[in-house]
Structure 1
Amino acid sequence: MARKNLLSGLGGSELPAGNLNRPVVALTEMMTPTASANFGGARGAIGAVTRSIEQLKANAIQDIPTEAIDPSFISDRIGFDEANYDDLVESMRTHGQQVPILVRPHPEKEGRFQVAYGHRRLRAAVELQRPVRAIVKKLSDDELVIAQGQENNARTDLSFIERARFAASLEQRGFERTTIMAALFVDKSGLSRLISAATKIPPDIIDAIGPAPKTGRDRWVALAANLESETSLAAVRTMISDEKMSAASSDDRFNILFSAAVLKKTKTAKPRAEPAAWVAPDGKTVARIQDDKKLCTVAIDKKVAPEFGAFLIESLPDLYAAFLGRESK
């Protein structure tokens, strides 16, 4: 599916998440129809230079006071990675902020801005007590979440459950699925799996686990299935306050709660009843019958009555007709 990449032309061909020890060249070719008309549709080298200058004017990097910037209206993170953040702060302290963040004029607050992406760089700038370097671009809500999602996909460091919660949160806010698909680079089935995983697991359990970067979709789906049992859900919520959780990594916290859910479900599962034997008038055990809420299974012992199974199958239409006739009386 072809998608418009809103990240192109926002400060270079690639915008990594962190800081770089080299300057970023912000010359790209993004030309609006109006700008093209103003310059007479210039082509060739002169046209390229003209378009580059026009783009620089449109998306010039600015130093903005951090107190004038608000976060995005939707979060794409669960928890906070202190170790990587500390590295970012030291890099910006030593080398300055090499990669700008992307903001838009705040849609509701005059004179303020709202982040599309770059929250960690903004937080680092606040800590370092310096303005943040930013590209200011007018974005609709749809364009903001697509830019936010695409930038995270380019970094490939969001975990499965972070992507899942981001997708579910966007849908809860009323965004069309086509917009969410563009933001996360997924197709319809992939988006359905993400949203399903995030909505079937209670938010307090996701928060207790955290991003779990090494835990993939299948494990989260399995956890959701186990939590359908009320006893398993209660056991997991009890385990959240266990001291093992506070000292464990996010992936280990997932494993602790997953084990609690599976163990409780196994202990509380009702044992399957033994099949009942059907004994023919001649004293032979011809069949065994397993009857529960979902199925009634009749197993014919071919050693005892080798032809009876085939006869029973052939007789099913007549037996069913007789059953319907009895029900209609």
Structure 2
Amino acid sequence: MMRSVITGTGSALPKRRVSNAELAETVETSDEWIVERTGIRFRHIAGDGETTSSLAVDASRRALEAAGLEPSDIDLIVLATATPDQTFPATATIVQAELGILDCVAFDVAAVCSGFLYAVQVADSMLRSGTHARALVIGAETFSRILDWEDRATCVLFGDGAGAMVMEAREPAEAGDRGVLAAKLHADGRYNELLYVDGGPSTTGTVGKLRMKGREVFRHAVTNLSAVMTESLTLAGLAPNAVDWVVPHQANARILDATAKKLGLAPEKVVVTVDRHANTSAASVPLALDEAVRDGRIKPGHLVVLEAMGGGFTWGAAVVRF
């Protein structure tokens, strides 16, 4: 069985950065209120000409550069998003065309904030099977386009962005102990009403706006994330004290703290970008991962756990050796 190894990461953010103070000019809120409850101070908001696909393309180009590859080397694109450019075709095919890839398998995965973890496991399975050699795995969102900007409980929480990574199939002897060691995914559709968008092609014929019951989501997130991280580590035959870094979904600083505490992980082992990026849904894990790789925190040989939970509910974790 082949092993899928991460060989490059990249990310992209819209040009416009919006502070809590700027939001408070149009929304009944304050910097103190937002920071105290979420830890968020800034978010990036897509402007004219900035789309889910354009952010995904920029992140992908940086990931390819880091991997030392050309777009033509890619034969699989799996893109996680809840905010596609169009109802169809898949945003992944738009990225394919923009990168100049003439032929490859390209499709989207819809699992909201957990989407990137779902995309990782899908790509890992396809690479391990030997049907594909190199994959671009992308999380990209323009959540600002589905926010109700009069709902201060939700509009302050989200931002836009994209992250990507290159995964390559390697023979076990070549990969050594590197690569995706284990992954575990879950879903429970009974909790739809806690985090959802109130529109869709087959129901309202509109895009709709995001709706969330924050307290209930918080409670489920801490329980589910700590459990799935333990599951994935057990599958890999590893204990929490073997982990060098946790790269979590950046939803809320309080969730990150509570999850780390429940697992007995030191806070300094958790990569945190929510204060500057807010919640970028499927983009948040690869955005944070790329930052930690590029600033030198995550080094070759480090054991990293990726984890996320999103609407559905969906949640998952992956254990990766860099």
Relative to the length of structure 1, the TM-score reads 0.23
Higher helix share: 1
Greater relative CO, 1 or 2 (CA 8 Å, sep 6+): 2
TM-score by length of 2: 0.23
Is the radius of gyration larger for structure 1 or structure 2? Answer: 1
